[in-house]
Structure 1
Amino acid sequence: MYRSYYPYILKWLLMLLCLPLLLHAQRNNFTITPAPKWLAPYTPDLNKKPNLHDISSGYCLLLLEEQHHAEKKSVYQHIIRQIVSEAGVQNGAEVSVDYDPAYEQLQFHQLIIRRDGKVLNKLSAGQFRILQQEKELSRFIYSGVYTAYCIIEDVRKGDQIEYAYTITGRNPIFEDKYFRTFYFAASEPILNYYKCLIASTARNIQFRSFNDAPMPVKKTWQGMNLYEWQPKHIAEPERVDYRTPSWYDNYAYVEASEYTSWEPIVNWALLVNATHDLSPALQQKIAAWQKETGNNKALYMQKAIRFVQDDIRYMGIEMGEYSHRPSQPGKILNQRFGDCKDKSLLLCTILQANGIDASMAYVNTFAKASLSEALPSPVLFNHVIVSANLSGNHYWIDPTINYQRGTIDNLTVPDYQLALIIKKGTNALSSIDQRYNGTVRISETFVLPESNKKPAHLQVLSNYSLQFADDQRANFAENSMKDQERAFLDYYKGLYGDVRADSGLQIEDAEPEDRFEVGEYYTIHNPWKADTTAANRQQFHVQARILTDMLPRVPDDNHTQPLALKYPYALDYTITLQMPNDWAMDNTSMHVKNKYYRIDFTAAVNGRTVTLHYQYNSYQDHVPVDYLTNYVDDRNQLAEIGGFYLYWDPTAGSSTSPAGHKGISWVMLVLCLLFAGIFSYMAVRFYHRSVFPLQYNPESWAIGGWLLLLGFSITFSPLGILVDLVRSGFFSNATWEAVVHAQDAQVRLLVFIAELACNVFLCVYAVLLVLLFFRKRDTFPAACIVFFAAVLSVQVLDYIAVSALNNNYAWSRDQITNISRGIIGAAIWIPYLLRSERVRKTFVVPHPSAVQRNW
C-alpha cells in the first residue's frame, strides 16, 4: 500500500534537488521552451550523404539553419551534426552558446541523439553549465558574457546530434534600426544550409556583398519581408597567413544595414556620449590646471593628456549598454580606471572645459581604411580616440597610450587610417595622417682581434624617437631590467655564439624630446671561425638581422594574399667593424624606392674601418599581390647584402664576400652538368645489363617486408643528395673564389672538383637504384650493395681530405654522425641483400634486351 507512493516521493525529491539548477539557469536568462512560432518554413534534405574526403574533424553538419527576426530581436539556430568517426565523438559531442544575460535570453528547444532509428532526448536544464569565462579579461575588458555549456553523454560513431535554440534580445544602447553581418563560410562540410532574415516591410534594409558572398532572395511572407539564402555550397576560405595585414578578410559575408550614411550614427553617438554635470572633484582638477597653466592652452592640453594616459589605468567594464556608452567623467576620475571610450570622454570633457575644441573619434584598429567599403553601422568600430583643434592645428590623441612624452606638436597615434569624428554635422570618415613618427637609429660597432687568442668587443647604441621611443619606454616599464638584459643578450648569442655582457643595459630617457636610448656592451669570445676551404684562414659572419627580420618572407610563389609591412617604420642601421688590419672590399650597394618601401645600402672602407649602412622606410602597411614578384626580388637582393663573411688570413691578407654567396660559379655548374652527362651515360649502359637471361622469367615476389623500409630510404636518397650538393656551396661564386685564391689552390681545387664529381655520381647512382628497385631488376641487389659501400667511402675520404688540408682540423659532431649512420646502414642492409630469400625471389626481372643463354 505504501510502496505505491515511492515513485511520487522520488520525483518530488528529484525536483527539489534540481530546483537550484533551474533557478540558477533562470537567473541567467536560460530556459527550455518549445520552438518559436514565427519561423519561416524550411524543409532540409536529410538524406544527403557527405563526402568523407572533405571531413577533417570527424563530423559534418547535416543541417545549419539560421533565422533572424528583426522585429522580435531574435536569432534561431537549428543544427544537426553527423558523427562519422571516433574523432567526431571527441570533437562534436559538446554544445556551447555564448550570450549576454544583461539583455539577451537563451531558450533551448531541442537536444536529441538519433541512433539506429531511435530518438534519445538529452535536453535537461541540469545538463547545462552556465559559465562566465570572460575571454577578454587578459586585455582588461570585463564584458559579462556567459556561455551555456553542455557535455552530451553517450555519443557514438554514426550518431546524429540535433539541437536548436533561440537568443532573444538586443543591446538597449542601439536605436531600433537593423544592422548585422551574415557570414557564409565554414571549416566543415554543410549538406543543408539555410539562412534568412524576417523584417517589417517598413524597414529599408540595404545589403552589400563581400568576397563573392551570395545576395539574398527577397520574398513576402505573412506580411513581412523575407530575405533568404540557400547556397548549395559553402566553401572554406583560403587560410589567412599570419603575414597578411589586419584588415585583410577573405571570408564571404554580406552586410545588412538600415543606415544610409554616417551622419545618423554620429547623432546616435552624440546622445550616447553626452556628458552630464561635472563632479566637484573634476571641477577642482580643471580649475587647478587652469591656474597652473594660465593662458597657455597648449600646456593645459599637454597636462590633461598626460594625466588621462598615465594616471587613469585601462580597464573596461563593458556589460550591457556600457559596451558602447562611456561612464561619466566624474566617475572615471574617482575610480581612476576606464576603457578607451571612458578615457576619451574624460579627456574631451577636460579640454572642452578650457575652450579647446575636442571630440571623440571612432576607429577600427583592424579594419582601418577598409571601413570606407562597409555599410554604415554603429558596431563597425572597436576603439575610441580624440580629435582636437587648437590654434589652427589639428591633433589626433589616443588616451590609452602610456608613456607618451614630448610636446603636443609631435603627438602620434598608431596607423588607424580612418576615423569617424563624433561632432555635429559630420557625414564622412576622416583620414588620420601619419606624421612625426620618429626613427629607429641603431649602431653596432665591432672590434675584431687578429686571432681568437683575444676576444672581440661589440657596442650597440639604439636611439628611438617619438612613437618608437614611446614603445620602448612602455616596454622597459612593463618588463624587468633583468628580463630585458637577458633578451638582448640572447639575441646576440644567437648571431655570434659565445657572447658575454660587459655591463647592464645603459638607459637614457630624454622625455622632453621624446627620445629613448639604450646602450649595450658585449664581449665575443672566439669570434673567428675556421674556414675549411683555405689553410690558416678565418672567417667572421656579420649579420644585419635587425633589418632582414623586418621584411617578411613570401610563403610561396603562388601567394595570393597581400603581405603586411610594419608601418609606419623608419630604420637607420649602421654596422661598423674595426678590423685587425687595413681592409679591402668591393663596392656593393642597393637603392630601391617605390610607393611601398625604400631600401638603401652602401658599404665603405677607410683603412681598418669597414662601414655597412642600411636605411629602410615603409610607406604603406602592405605590399599588394600584384607587386609581390618585385618585392621578392628586392628581398632576395637584401638577403645577399644583409650579411657578409669577412675572411682574415694573417699571412695572406683579407677579403670580404656577401653572406648570401652572391653569384653563381658557372665553372662549377658546367662541370656539374658534364659529370651528370657522363655518369648518366654509364647508368644507362648498366641499366641494360642483366644477371639472368631473358628466357629466365619466374614469377617475382611482391615488394614487402623489410624491402618496404629499404625502398622508402632509396626513394628519397636522390633528393637528399641533391639538397646536400646545393647547400654545400659548390655553385657559389664566393666559394669558388675562396678556393682558387688559397695558398695551395691547385690541391684544393683538385679536391673541390673531386668532391663535386663524387656527389654527382652518387646522385645519378641513386636515381638508377630507384628505377632498378621498382622494376624488380635482377641487378638491383649487387648495385645496392655497391651504393652503400660507395656512400660510406666517399664520406670517409672527403673528411680525411679536409683534415689534411686544414691543420688541426677536428671532425665535427655532424661528420661523425654521418659516418656512423653510413656504417650502421651498410652493416644492416648489405648482409640482408646477400642472404634474404625475399631479395632473391623479388629481384629476378632481366632487361628485355638481355642475350639469351642456355642453362
Structure 2
Amino acid sequence: MHRILLLIALIVCCFSAGANAQQKNFSITPAPAWLVPYQPDLKQVPDARDVSNGYYILLFEEQQHVEQSAVYHHMIRQIVSEAGIQNGAEITVDYDPVYEKLHFHKILIRRNGKVINQLQASKFKILQQEDDLSRFIYSGLYTAYFILEDVRKGDQIEFAYTIEGNNPIFEHKFTSLFYLAFSNPVVNFHKSIIASPNREIRFKTFNTAPMPDRQMVNGMQVYKWEMTNLPSMEAVDDTPTWFDNFPFVQATEYKDWQQVIQWGDRVNMVPAPGPALKAKITEFKREAGNNKEKYMLKAIRFVQDDIRYMGIEMGEYSHRPNTPDKILLQRFGDCKDKSLLLATLLKANGIYANMAYVDTYTRGHVVDYLPAPDLFNHAIVYAKLEGREYWIDPTISYQRGNLSMLTVPDYQQGLVIDPVGKNSFTPVTNTGKGKTIIHEHFLLPSDRKDKGSLTVTSIFTMQYADDQRDGLANSSRKDNENTFLNYYKNAYGSVTPDSPLQVTDIPDSNRIILKESYILQSPWKTDSTKDQRINFNMKANLLRDALPEYAEEDRKAAPLQLRYPFSLDYTITVEMPSAGPIDEEELHIRNDYYAIHFVPSVRNNVVTMHYTFETYQDHIPASFISTYIKERKRIDGFLGYYFYLDTDDGAPGDGPSQGLNWLVIGLAIFFAAVFTQYALRFSKVSLQPAGTYAYPPQIGGWLVIMAIGVFISPLNIFNGLIKASIFSNNMWLQLDKSTNATHNVSILQLLLVTELASEIGMLIFSLLLVSLFYKKRDTFPKAMIVFLAFNFTFNLIDNLACNYIFEKKSWETEGVKQLVQSFIAAAIWIPYLIRSERVKETFVMPHEKEMVN
C-alpha cells in the first residue's frame, strides 16, 4: 500500500510539472515539417587554440519560417575539457509566453557511439527571471532551464527546439538582425529564412558579412547562409556603444522610414482625454495663465518628477504605450508611457509635440541601418514653441532651470513620430551646454609633523547638475561623504573630514555647488633622494579619470570611447609655507576630438595648476589612436607635480625607520667581493707575450693629467657612496611615496639595486685602474677605455630611467652635470688612448708571472 501511494505521488508530481510547463506555453513535440534540408560535416574540428570555456559549437543551425512565425534552433556542443562540463552542460531558452510557445524536440548526449536521451518535461524548470527589474522594467519573459546529468569530457550535447509566435504589435511584418560569428568557434553554421515569394525582404550586411544565397524550396523563397569553421571573436574594450566588430546581417520588409513612422503613429494613437487628464490640463493652464513656456515647463516637471519610472512591458506593451489617462491615474510608466503623456499635455495647449524614437546604443549610427521599428530602445519627446526646438527626456528626473537649460543625453538622432512631418531622422541637439568646475585648494604646513588641509569646491551646471541632483537624491548624505573621502584617501593617504559635505542647489540657474573640507594628517613625505628634504605629490586625478584608457599593445582597429558631451574646468592651488618658483611649462593640445590645456602660475607662495578638458565627439577614431597614445603619454607628465621643502631637522625621519639598512650594506659587501674577484683575475691577464716587453719611459705629457684623474677617481666614487641615501633604512621605507601610483615600487627597487651594483663595480674598477696605471700594465689602455665608455653609458641610462620612473619632463641639474662630464671625459681620453704613441710606449708591462717566465 505504501509503495502504491508513493507511485501515485510521483505520477502526480510529474503531471504537475508537465501541467506547469503547459501553462507556460511549453511542450515536447517532434521537429517541424517545414525545415529545409541541411547536412553538416560533423567530422570537422576547429583550431584547438581557438577553443575557450572548455567546449566548442560543432553545429549551429537556425531556421526561421516567416509565414509560420516560428524559429527552429538546433545546436551541438562538443565538450573538450572539465571546464566544458561546467560551462556547457546547461540549456537555457528565453521566451514570452504571452505570444510565444516553446516546443522542445530533443536533448541528447552522444558518448562513445551511444546516444543517451535526456529529454523529459519534468526536468525543465520554467522561471520568470525579470533581470531588468533593477531598471524598473517588468517584461514578463520566462526562461526554461534544463540541467543535464552525467556530462563527461568528450561528450556531445545536442538539443533542438522551436519558438513559435510573433509579437502582434509588429503586425506580422518581418524584421530581423542576427550575427554570423560568436565568442565560441562554430564548426558548422546554417541560417535560413523561409518566406513567401510575395514578401519583399531587403538585406544589409555589416563587417564583411556575406549576403545570402537564394533558392526556391517547395514554393517558398529561402535565404540561406552556410559556412564552416567560423573562428571565435572577441569584443574590443573601451569602444563607444555603437561600435560592433562582429559580422551581422539585418533583414526588413519596411521600404523606408516613413513606413516606420506610420507604424509608430498607429501604435501611439491617443483616445480622447478622460476626466482626470482634462482636470490636470485645466490646472496647468490656470497656473500658467497665457504663458505657454510656463505651461510647458510645468508639464515637463510633472511628468519627470511626479510620474515614477516603471515599465510593465508584456506582450504588445513592449512597444505600445498605455493611455495617458491610465498613466496619470497609476502615476507610473516607462519611457513611451511618459513620453506619450507629456506630448498629450503639450498638444492640449497648442504646443507642437510628438514622441520620438532613439536608440541609446547605436545612437546616431541608427541611420546606417535599414528601416525597422525594433531598432529603437527608448522614447523621448520632440517639441517646438515659438520657433525653438526642444528635446525632452521624460525619464530624467530633477531637471531644473528654464526651457533653454533643458538637456538630453547624446542620442544624436531621433525619429519623430509625425506622419505629416519629416520622413527621416532629425538630429537630437541640446539647447544648453553644461560644465563641471572643480577647485582643489591645498594648504601645506611649514613642518613635516604638522597637518595640512584640503578644500574642494565643485560647481555643476546644466546636465551635470541634473546628474548630481539625481545622485544626491538616490543616496544618503553619509554615503556621498564616504565616497568623496575615500577618493582623496586613495590619492593622499591619511585624510579625515574637517566638516560635513555642504550642498547648495540653485534651481533657477540649474547649478549645484558641493563643498568638501578635509584634514591632511601628514601631507609632507620624506624625500628618498635627498636628506633634509620633504615632498608633497600633487595629483590631478580628476582629469586623469576623465581621460579615456587605452591598450597600447594588440589593440585592434577600433575607435576609443570618449565621454561626450564633457567639459571640465579643473584648478588645483597649493599654498606653500614659503614662496618659490616652479619648473613647469604650459601644455596646449587641440584636435577634432578633444582639447586639453594646462597653464601653471605662481603668486607669492600660492602655486596654481589650471587644467581644461573638453570633448567634441563620442570617440577617437582608430586612425587617430596612435596619435592619442603619444599625446596621452605627454599629458600624463602634467598630471602630477612634486613640491619640495628643505628642512633643518637633520635626518629625514625618526623612530624605528632611522638607521642603516643592513641588507643593502650586505649587498654592497657581496657586490664588492664579486667584483674584486673578477678584478684580480683581470689583473693577471696580459696582452704582451713573455719576453717581448721593454722597460717603459717615465710618465709624462698628457699622461700626467690622466694620472691625476685615475688616482682621484676611487676617492670621488667612494665619497659618493658614503653620502648616498641608499644605505638609509628610511629611504627604502619611503619608496612608495617617491613615484606615482602608476609605477610599481619593485621597478624602483630594481633600479636602486642596479645603481648600487654599478657604483660598487665602478669603485673596484677604478682601484684596478690605479694598480694597472702604477705598474704601467699593457692592459691599462683597454681597461681605461672600457671604464670611460661604461661610465657614460651608465649615467645616460640612469638619467633616462629616473626621469621615466619619477615622470619628470626635464632632467635634474646634477644628473645632467654628471652625464656631460662623463661624455667629455670619454670623448677626449678614448681617442687619445687609441692613437697616442706615448700610451703605446708606456703601458707595455705584462703580469709578473709572464716576466718570470
Task: Tell me, yes or no, whether TM beats 0.5.
Answer: yes
Q: Secondary structure at the match of 1:230?
A: strand
Contact 1:364 1:416 in 2 (8 A): yes
Among 374, 394, 397, the alignment partner of 1:399 is 394
User: Which residue identity is paired with 2:458?
Assistant: S
Among 550, 559, 564, the alignment partner of 1:562 is 559
User: Which residue identity is paired with 1:505?
Assistant: L
Q: Secondary structure at the match of 1:109?
A: strand
Among 573, 576, 596, the alignment partner of 1:579 is 576
Distance in 2 (CA, whole Å) between partners of 1:730 and 1:304 is 57
CA-to-aligned-CA distance 1:232-291 (integer Å, 9 cap, x gap): 2323223321x2111111111000111121000000000101111212111101101101
Distance in 2 (CA, whole Å) between partners of 1:504 and 1:552 is 32
Distance in 2 (CA, whole Å) between partners of 1:119 and 1:760 is 73
In structure 1, the partner of 2:777 is none
- Does 1:289 pair with 2:284? yes
Aligned-pair distance for 1:14?
5.2
Q: Secondary structure at the match of 2:342?
A: helix
Among 34, 38, 43, the alignment partner of 1:42 is 38
- Does 1:320 pair with 2:315? yes
In structure 2, the partner of 1:671 is none
Q: Quick check: which has more Rg, 1 or 2?
A: 2
- Does 1:31 pair with 2:32? no
Cα pair distance change 1:440/1:728, threshold 3 Å:
closer
Aligned-pair distance for 1:24?
1.2
Distance in 1 (CA, whole Å) between partners of 2:15 and 2:565 is 59
Among 335, 339, 343, the alignment partner of 1:344 is 339
| Aligned counterparts, 1:192-203, within 5 A | 192-203=188-199
Aligned-pair distance for 1:605?
0.8
- Does 1:430 pair with 2:430? no
Q: Secondary structure at the match of 1:641?
A: coil
In structure 1, the partner of 2:96 is 100
Aligned-pair distance for 1:362?
0.3
Distance in 2 (CA, whole Å) between partners of 1:608 and 1:363 is 53
In structure 2, the partner of 1:589 is 586
Contact 2:528 2:738 in 1 (8 A): no
Distance in 2 (CA, whole Å) between partners of 1:549 and 1:274 is 46
| Aligned counterparts, 1:741-780, within 5 A | 755=756, 757-758=758-759
CA-to-aligned-CA distance 1:89-117 (integer Å, 9 cap, x gap): 22222111110000001011111222233
Among 179, 183, 193, the alignment partner of 1:187 is 183
Cα pair distance change 1:435/1:638, threshold 3 Å:
farther
Q: Secondary structure at the match of 1:512?
A: helix
- Does 1:359 pair with 2:360? no
CA-to-aligned-CA distance 1:769-815 (integer Å, 9 cap, x gap): xxxxxxxxxxxxxxxxxxxxxxxxxxxxxxxxxxxxxxxxxxxxxxx
In structure 1, the partner of 2:366 is 371
Aligned-pair distance for 1:62?
2.0
Aligned-pair distance for 1:12?
7.3
User: Which residue identity is paired with 1:250?
Assistant: N
In structure 1, the partner of 2:110 is 114
Cα pair distance change 1:524/1:731, threshold 3 Å:
closer
In structure 2, the partner of 1:600 is 597
* Consecutive unaligned residues in structure 1, runs of 5 or more: 653-674, 690-723, 733-750, 763-855
Among 333, 347, 350, the alignment partner of 2:328 is 333
In structure 2, the partner of 1:648 is 645
- Does 1:215 pair with 2:233? no
Contact 1:457 1:523 in 2 (8 A): yes
Aligned-pair distance for 1:40?
0.2
Aligned-pair distance for 1:48?
2.6
Aligned-pair distance for 1:730?
12
Aligned-pair distance for 1:10?
9.3
Q: Secondary structure at the match of 1:549?
A: helix
Structure 1 segments, 4+ long, off by >6 Å, are: 9-13, 727-732, 759-762
Contact 1:48 1:191 in 2 (8 A): yes
Distance in 2 (CA, whole Å) between partners of 1:550 and 1:63 is 44
Cα pair distance change 1:461/1:395, threshold 3 Å:
same
In structure 1, the partner of 2:436 is 440
In structure 1, the partner of 2:636 is 639
Cα pair distance change 1:355/1:524, threshold 3 Å:
same
Q: Secondary structure at the match of 2:532?
A: coil
Distance in 2 (CA, whole Å) between partners of 1:500 and 1:402 is 33
- Does 1:234 pair with 2:230? yes
Aligned-pair distance for 1:514?
0.3
Aligned-pair distance for 1:513?
0.7
User: Which residue identity is paired with 1:511?
Assistant: P
In structure 1, the partner of 2:614 is 617
Distance in 1 (CA, whole Å) between partners of 2:285 and 2:13 is 64
Among 141, 153, 157, the alignment partner of 1:157 is 153
Aligned-pair distance for 1:177?
1.8
Q: Secondary structure at the match of 1:218?
A: strand
- Does 1:483 pair with 2:479? yes
- Does 1:387 pair with 2:385? no
In structure 1, the partner of 2:505 is 509
CA RMSD of aligned residues (A): 2.7
Aligned-pair distance for 1:87?
2.2
Distance in 1 (CA, whole Å) between partners of 2:108 and 2:198 is 39
Distance in 1 (CA, whole Å) between partners of 2:762 and 2:565 is 52
Overall identity of the aligned pairs, in %: 50
In structure 2, the partner of 1:171 is 167
Contact 1:730 1:756 in 2 (8 A): no
Q: Secondary structure at the match of 1:157?
A: coil
* Consecutive unaligned residues in structure 2, runs of 5 or more: 650-670, 686-731, 741-751, 764-853
Contact 1:450 1:650 in 2 (8 A): no
In structure 2, the partner of 1:125 is 121
| Aligned counterparts, 1:47-58, within 5 A | 47-58=43-54
Among 252, 272, 276, the alignment partner of 1:277 is 272
Distance in 1 (CA, whole Å) between partners of 2:250 and 2:510 is 43
Aligned-pair distance for 1:627?
0.7
Aligned-pair distance for 1:758?
4.9
Cα pair distance change 1:159/1:221, threshold 3 Å:
same
Contact 1:35 1:109 in 2 (8 A): yes
Aligned-pair distance for 1:163?
1.2
Distance in 2 (CA, whole Å) between partners of 1:617 and 1:327 is 41
Contact 2:391 2:430 in 1 (8 A): no
Cα pair distance change 1:198/1:491, threshold 3 Å:
same
Contact 1:109 1:163 in 2 (8 A): yes
| Aligned counterparts, 1:522-561, within 5 A | 522-559=518-555, 560-561=557-558
Q: Secondary structure at the match of 1:150?
A: strand
In structure 1, the partner of 2:829 is none
Distance in 2 (CA, whole Å) between partners of 1:109 and 1:29 is 14
In structure 2, the partner of 1:709 is none
Contact 1:548 1:638 in 2 (8 A): no
User: Which residue identity is paired with 1:598?
Assistant: A
Distance in 2 (CA, whole Å) between partners of 1:441 and 1:754 is 44
Aligned-pair distance for 1:633?
2.1
Aligned-pair distance for 1:230?
0.7
Distance in 2 (CA, whole Å) between partners of 1:752 and 1:265 is 70
Cα pair distance change 1:337/1:634, threshold 3 Å:
same
In structure 1, the partner of 2:691 is none
Distance in 1 (CA, whole Å) between partners of 2:123 and 2:600 is 71
> Structure 1 stretch 512-521 or stretch 56-65: which is displaced more?
56-65
User: Which residue identity is paired with 1:355?
Assistant: G
CA-to-aligned-CA distance 1:647-701 (integer Å, 9 cap, x gap): 111569xxxxxxxxxxxxxxxxxxxxxx9xxx9xx89x99xx9xxxxxxxxxxxx
Distance in 2 (CA, whole Å) between partners of 1:462 and 1:629 is 33
Distance in 2 (CA, whole Å) between partners of 1:133 and 1:196 is 30
Aligned-pair distance for 1:333?
0.6
User: Which residue identity is paired with 1:631?
Assistant: Y
CA-to-aligned-CA distance 1:411-455 (integer Å, 9 cap, x gap): 100001011000113311111124412111111111111112321
What's the TM-score, normalizing by structure 2?
0.76
